[in-house]
Each structure stands twice: as structure tokens, then as C-alpha cells.
Structure 1
Amino acid sequence: MGPNTGVRCNTSWHFNASLIEDILPEMEKFWPDLLEPSSPKFWNYEWTKHGTCAAKSESLNSEHKYFGKALELYHKFDLNSVLLKNQIVPSEKHYTLEDVEEAITSAYGVKPKIQCVHPGQSALKIEK
């Protein structure tokens, strides 16, 4: 995700997928839109809502820097391995919110913000 001020920081700074063309295969693999896999709407939303706010920092002041940093952090913190160590894996089994929170808190020392999206609901409607 990214910085969240509750508003879109620069609505005139539109998402342009061609600016991250070289990292698109990695984006599709590690930060996909699970509800609409063939659509760039999710990344557009993330850039407009969070990236344009993060861009106030020189180290994140372009789409490429913002999404590149997100991928770098994904690999650095390796959440999938943390969940796997706690036997939390994609399956038909249900896990409690407490189990997921505890696994993440014990690994990173912070309580995570977890948002769930019903399969029939658009992820873009989560944050107001």
C-alpha cells in the first residue's frame, strides 16, 4: 500500500502503465489484482491514492520508484514465508483473524492492519 492521508494527493498525476513496463511481469506476479487480474485498475488506484502522496519524498517521486520500492519491500519482508511458518497457506481451510494477526505480530513486532474484501466487492471501495 503506502501513505494514506485519507484523500488523493494529486488527482492530476495519472497512472501510466508504460512507465513501469520493465517491472510489469514482477508486478503481475507479486502484486496482482486478485479480483480483476487482467486490469490495471488496482495499480491505478494504488498510485492515485497512495503513490501520489508518497511522491512527496524524493526516493518515491515517480511511478517507477513507488512500485519498485513496493516490490523491494515485498521481497525484504517475505510475508508469505511468515504465514507458511505458521501453517497459514492458501486453501479451503479458514483461518481466524487472530491467527493471522498473531503470526504477523510475532514476526515483525507490529500489529498489522488487515482489510478483507468479499469476492463480490470491488477492492477499490475499501478505503474512503
Structure 2
Amino acid sequence: FQFVQQWPPTNCRVRIKRPCSNPRPLQYFTIHGLWPSNYSNPTKPSNCNGSQFNFTKVSPKMRVKLKRSWPDVESGNDTRFWEGEWNKHGTCSEGSLNQMQYFERSHEMWYSFNITEILKNASIVPHPTQTWKYSDIVAPIKTATKRTPVLRCKPDPAQNKSGPKTQLLHEVV
């Protein structure tokens, strides 16, 4: 599995062609998804022939938790986001996790591996003018999780083309 957390401000900032319709001003990492993967092709499997998303299989108590840990930061339609992630990735995990377990496990991982707090404890706090090296971000996450994270970054669309090239942190895998 790949557990992917996203930084909401970057998620909306880099969407030029399809801007976020109802962005949330969240200042903490949120879940993008829990993706079954294999070593040879980390983007597979997806869109498996499992059971389709059933809102009633996610308990009301879990829905409240997911609204914080796994919100739709682009349009505000949390249920549609969860449905899309389940249908694309969760259906491929049914051999290990049923729908409720999939969302429970994702929330537990988000809570246990709180990237926002891990970075804050290393004095890395998002700021519009502050930059960090890749290694500065990887080191505290690796120490806390005992795994080397993959950082996915995106170019800043507002960046001066002739200036130094910086990237915006988008996702932590």
C-alpha cells in the first residue's frame, strides 16, 4: 500500500486549468488516499472489480473523523471524494480490507503519522517566503515513521520564470 497525504494549499495553487471550486483554507496535511500498489508498477492496481462505494458502510462516527482527515479540499464534496478513492483504489484492497476497514485504516495512519506535527517538531512550518531542502523535509519524516518518504512536488505557477526554480510540496507518500 501507498499512504498518500497532500498539502491542501499546494493542491489548489497548482490547479490552473481547473481551479478549486470551493477550496478549504486548511493548514495541515490531509489524506489523498490509501493505494494498493506493487513494486514493479506503483500506480497499479486501480479500478478493480470490487464492490462499489456504499456510503452507509462508513459509520457516522467515522464520517466525522474523515471530514477532518480526508476532506475534499478542491470542491468540498467529501462523500464524492471518498467514493472516487474507494472505487479507484479501495476496490483493489478488498482482499485485505473491506470498505469500513479501508477508511478506518486510512484515518488511523493519518493520525499516527501526522506529517504536519512531524515537520512542526523539526521547526518546519509552512510559510510563503521560507524554503527548505528536500533532505530537510525527508529526515524528520524518516525518523518518525522509520520509512523513507517520497515527496511529490509541483512547480509554482506564480513563480518568476527567470528566477531560481523552487517547487511546492504537494504530497508525501
Query: Could you tell me the TM-score, scaled by structure 2's length?
Result: 0.56
Name the CA distance, whole Å, in 1 between partners of 2:74 and 2:91.
23
Deviates more, 1:96-105 or 1:4-13: 4-13
Unpaired segments ≥5 residues, structure 2: 1-33, 39-43, 158-173
Establish whether residue 47 from structure 1 lines up as the match of residue 86 from structure 2. yes
- Read off the aligned partner of 1:69 and give its amino acid letter: R
1:26 alignment partner in structure 2: 65
Matched to 2:52, the amino acid is H
Alignment coverage as a number of residue pairs:
118
Larger radius of gyration: 2
Segments of 5+ residues of structure 1 without an aligned counterpart are: 121-128
Q: State the superposition RMSD in angstroms.
A: 2.8
Greater share of residues in helix: 1
Matches within 5 A, 1:13-92: 13-22=51-60, 23-57=62-96, 60=97, 62-92=98-128
Structure 1 outlier segments of 4+, above 6 Å: none
The percent of aligned pairs where both chains have the same amino acid is 26
Corresponding residue to 1:100 among 137, 145, 166: 137
Give the structure-1-normalised TM-score.
0.72
Q: Deviation per CA, 1:8-67: give whole Å up to 9, x if none.
A: 25245222223214111110101222222234343223212321222112xx1x211110
Please tell me whether the aligned partners of residues 50 and 91 of structure 2 are also in contact (alpha carbons under 8 angstroms).
no
How far, CA to CA, are the matches of 1:50 and 1:83 in structure 2?
28
In structure 1, how many angstroms separate the alpha carbons of the residues matched to 2:51 and 2:144? 36
2:48–2:89 contact (8 Å) kept in structure 1: no
